Amino acid sequence: MACSFLFLAFLMTATAACLSAAAATGKLVPPSETPSLSFEEGYTQLFGDSNLALHGGGKRVHISLDERTGAGFASQAAYLHGLFSARIKLPADHTAGVVVAFYMSNGDVYERTHDELDFEFLGNVRGREWRVQTNVYGNGSTAVGREERYGLWFDPTEDFHRYAIHWSRHRIIFYVDDTPIREVVRTEAMGAQYPSKPMSLYATIWDGSSWATSGGRYKVDYKYAPYVAEFADLELRGCAVGPATPCATPGTGSASDGDAYGHAATMSPARRSAMEAFRARYMTYGYCYDRLRYPAPLPECSIGAEAAAFLPSGDARAALHRHARRSRMRRGADSAV
């Protein structure tokens, strides 16, 4: 991903300062009192020149993909733990091959051992819904991969919806409209593959024709361009790296467990039930059930009776049945015409 030299230098300096301060004091910088910043206050453009446009006094950002380029931006600061969210509206119509990403990463600082937490939105052919993928990579573990994919209970192109990543020392939770859809609990077996280094927040739109839709079968069709993804209410509720007043003391279970960012360190029974219901209905792929890629499940995977709902490829049986049923319905409608 393209990135300016100045931004890279800033991020490396800030990260080094944070790690040095943390080592000396065992403490972190407090979360921002005003997390919803304008673009100029909290973010910097990465690439895309005029394909990034600001609206509403810099509170809304449009990034677009056309034949020339995609676009992207990142937070000016790196953060160690927090709650990071945005309301996002995705492009409509034929979006096969288009990828919109909202994610945390430190890949520009740690080239071989980077951490990453992703929402990846994968476009589709006309009449087919967007898919959502979440990724969790720690210490350069992309070759291992902890990917999951889902459908959604709404059309993400019709209105804005809130997507959030809650990252603490002990767990990672992905939210869609305040419904938790995935929880990753830190285990001893994960070791350094649990993301643990300061990361920046990114948003990008780009051409993923080689893989994003049906394994690359459907490419971006630029006659439908520009593809515009809209971002609003970007929030950075985290500990910005740097030597300053501490926001948590290790072992207290306060900010680093997440309650300083608006969500409790553990899920309520109601939220956990909502997450389980979402996953049972909308999860279309789970790495824990991919026996072709991982004959022995990764150590943090707890495989129960629900494994029967997944094929050896990790794909959900119900999702494939729904797809086959929709295909038959479309063929029937076409033949009737």
235 an active-site residue?
no
Looking at the structure of the chain, the number of domains it has is 1
Residue with tokens 């898919």: 131
Sole residue written with tokens 């969500």: 263
Question: Mean pLDDT, the chain, as a whole number?
Answer: 83
Average pLDDT over residues 296-324: 85
DSSP state of 199: B
Helix or strand holding residue 104 (H, E): strand 98-105
**Is residue 99 within 8 Å of residue 208, measured between CB atoms?**
yes
Name which residue leads in pLDDT, 136 or 299: 136
Average pLDDT over every residue of 223-239: 96
pLDDT digits (tens, 9 = 90+) for 38-57: 899 999 999 999 999 999 98
116 is catalytic: yes
For residue 117, give the nearest of 132, 140, 100, 134 by alpha carbon. Answer: 134
Look up the domain containing 155 and give its range.
Answer: 39-242+265-334
Residue 234 placed within a domain: yes
Q: How many CB atoms lie within 10 A of CB 152?
A: 17
Name the band, by pLDDT with cuts 50, 70 and 90, for residue 321. low
Higher-confidence residue of 28 and 34: namely: 34
The candidate with the shortest Cα–Cα distance to 14, out of 69, 58, 76, is 76
* Per-residue pLDDT reduced to its tens digit, 58-68: 999 999 999 99
Count of residues for the chain?
337
Mean pLDDT of 130-145: 94
In a domain, 107, yes or no: yes
CA neighbor of 300 nearest in space, from 193, 190, 192 = 190
13 is a domain residue: no
Note whether residue 61 is domain-resident.
yes
The answer to whether residue 321 sits within a structural domain is yes
Distance (Å, rounded) from C-alpha 164 to C-alpha 180? 9
Q: pLDDT of 165-186, one tens digit each?
A: 999 999 999 999 999 999 999 9
Q: How far is CA 332 from the centre of its chain?
A: 37
Can you give the pLDDT at residue 260?
Answer: 43
Omega before 226 within 30 of 0, i.e. cis: yes
Catalytic pick among 33, 116, 188, 235:
116
List of residues 6+ apart from 158 with CB closer than 8 A:
89, 92
pLDDT of 320: 59
Burial class (CB in 10 A: 0-12, 13-18, 19+), 292: exposed
Question: Which is the catalytic residue, given 120, 147, 230, 235?
Answer: 120
* Predicted pLDDT of residue 5: 37
The answer for residues whose C-beta is within 8 angstroms of residue 142's C-beta and 6 or more apart is 116
225: domain CATH number is: 2.60.120.200
Q: Is residue 3 part of a domain?
A: no
By percentage, how much of the chain surpasses pLDDT 70? 77
Residue 104: which residues within 8 A CB-CB, separation 6 or more? 79, 84, 115, 116, 117, 118, 165, 167, 195, 199, 200, 201, 202
> Is 270 within the bounds of a domain?
yes
Grouping H, G, I as helix, E, B as strand and the rest as coil, residue 316 is strand
Residue 8 domain flag: no
**34-47: burial string, b at 16+ Cβ within 10 Å, e else:** ebebebeebbbbbb
Q: What is the model's pLDDT at position 266? A: 75
